[in-house]
Chain A
Amino acid sequence: MLALVSPALLVILALIVLPVGWLAWQSIYHDGFTLENYLRVFTEDIYWRSFALTFEISFAVTVIALLLGYPVAYLANSVPKGCSILILSLVVLPFWTSVLVRAYAWLALLQRTGVINQFLRYLDVISEPLALVHNTLGTVVATVHILLPFMVLPLYATMQKIPSDLMQAGASLGASPSLTFFRVFLPLSLPGVLAGCTMVFVLCLGFYITPELLGGGRTVMVSMLVSRNVELYNQFGAASAVAVVLLLSVLAIFFMVSRFIPLDRVLGQK
């Protein structure tokens, strides 16, 4: 058994454990052991603000993705097979386009001279272009678009496994369709909700290109803090410390979620 898995273990060791270990090491060792980098992360204003903003945006993105994704997954689950494949491929299709391309596409849509503003002006709904991008709004819109598949797919997988007999049983006992939905279907789909939300939230925590291009420079998320620490301030230690704190928050989230549902469901197996 060990002989069988050892190549895989080696790959994990070389590609994951060693680099992460080196990162953690770099954050505490620079000409001697130091906690200075972590002290800075926990005491300096800018780090707090970035972490707070990152969690706020991730939360907003998760909620919006859930509100948009649930009906889509529900629809895909309740229509005939052929239709559901069509719906799911429409969800997954943007997934194969580069994140950078999608960010620029959103720019073309949202900016002052963009499609949406020009259309609204043409309709005379607005006289001055709306500030749809180069702020947090633009960042959230594009991030939701990019992460939506990660919400829809786990939801759909969970919904597929809910036996339709249960809804029929509810209906035969006299419950209205909305009552069967809220009392039977919704609770049974909750593991999918949790799985989708965890995926979207955790992925959003590490977003970089989207806020960089659509945030107008003010939406400084944690990943941007890491890059600026390396590029601008030349502080590898501080950058590593930020990265380690982010990694630990992600692990903590996974740990908390795993107490409610098995992790393999979050990660999309079975």
Chain B
Amino acid sequence: MNMRRTIGLGCGLVGAIGWISAADAAEQITFVSQGGAYQEAQTVAILDPSAKKLGITINQDSIPDAWPAIKTQVGSGKPIWDVVDTPTGYCLRGGEQGLIEKLDFAKMPNAAAMPEAYRSPYSVSYEFYSSVLAYSQKTFPKDAPNSWADFWDVKKFPGRRALRNHPIATLEAALMADGVAPDKLYPLDVDRAFKKLEEIKPNITVWWTSGAQSAQLLNDGEVDMEMAWNGRVSAVAKEGAKVAFTYNQGILQSTSLCILKGAPNLDTAVKFLNEAVDPVHQANLPLNIDYGPGNPKAFETSVIKPERAAQLPSEPVNAAKQALMSYAWWSSPAGEAAEKRWASFMQK
């Protein structure tokens, strides 16, 4: 009897699996992002509208740092994710290591229409943020620091400082402080950048590791100026802290969408990628969170009001004041060597 029940249960399960796979025929993808307020905002602005328009199901997953998971999933030969929203550098590095699908832009007209600097063979820019110079308005009620040279000038701008404990964007800032023009940064002169960093190192109180930490440092008055992500600074300012930032010499960075090699729903994933960078969906994102659209055409829709646009990192006037991060350089051998050099710089 026990046996019969087991068989019955087994049949039921097989039936259920069959039913689920039938439902699978309605297209679906698994989309992975970084969670929190950011993922909620993109769900409202981009994911739900895209799913509706394409008639697909978008399953979501979130992980703060997708890279190790991408590596192990693709390495196991059976990835369960399709599309990942991750810092552009990982898409490129993953592409070179055979972990990320090469994209066919002929199938993605929306992405193909974007500026070439915003795409790579493996990825398409999805949203922009910026590493900016932020400062306390209490310490600097007027004549606030306005460039990386000011940040390095401890005589003219006394105060405590923080930088990110990471070479990306920090080396760029050091070079701009040393007089390199924002559009002449790459290939980075790594020696020169580290030399300039040695100069400011004794004046750095904290090398922060998370965005939350950078916000807290500024909010609590633990530091007077720091490099921080624009969205984090404006969030603190919204809560009433006397802090501000400048886009001047900011480092414009993006996360991109890319597709895992051997993704279970490759065709649907490609369709979704095209839809996700649709100008109107993209324009909806900054209405929900302080990040700029990855597709500049979003500014040509009437969705983003001019005063809102002026606050966003990828708005053309703001973008022109900044350096555009070259992820291609950072995932090159020279870039990887610079990353490794960072650890010994920190411990010296």
Residues of A within 8 A of B (CB): 45-46, 49-50, 107, 111-113, 131, 134, 212-213, 216-218, 220, 228, 230-234, 236
Contact = CB atoms under 8 A, between A and B. Distances in A.
A134 B206 contact: yes
Contact of B344 (A45, A134, A234): A45
B213 A213 contact: yes
Considering the complex of A and B, which 10 residue pairs feature the smallest CB-CB distances, nearest first? Answer: A217-B207, A217-B165, A216-B206, A113-B221, A134-B206, A49-B347, A46-B343, A46-B344, A46-B347, A111-B222
Which has the most chain B C-beta neighbours within 10 Å: A49, A113, A213, A217?
Answer: A217
A217 B208 contact: yes
Contact of B67 (A131, A212, A231): A231
Contacts of B339: 232-233
Contacts of B220: 111-113
B160 interface: yes
**Interface footprint category on B:** 20 to 34
Given A46-B343, A46-B347, A231-B65, A216 B205 contact: yes
A137 B339 CA distance: 28
Interface string B153-175: 00000001000011000000000
Nearest to B340: A233
A217 B343 contact: no
Nearest to B201: A218
10 contacts: A112-B160, A112-B221, A112-B222, A113-B222, A134-B206, A216-B205, A218-B207, A218-B346, A228-B343, A232-B343
Nearest to A131: B205
Q: Which of B209, B213, B340 has the largest number of chain A CB atoms within 10 A?
A: B209
Contacts of B221: 112-113
B141 interface: no
Interface string B236-277: 000000000000000000000000000000000000000000
A167 B220 CA distance: 53
Interface in B46-79: 65, 67-68, 71
Contacts of B347: 45-46, 49-50, 218, 220
A217 B217 CA distance: 13
A213 B217 CA distance: 11
A233 B65 CA distance: 13
A50 B344 CA distance: 11
A100 to B, nearest CB: 11
Contacts of A212: 209
Contacts of A111: 220, 222
Interface string B261-304: 00000000000000000000000000000000000000000000
Among B213, B339, B343, B346, find the residue whose CB has the most chain A CB atoms closer than 10 A: B343
A207 to B, nearest CB: 15
B209 A232 contact: no
Given A111-B222, A232-B339, A216 B207 contact: yes
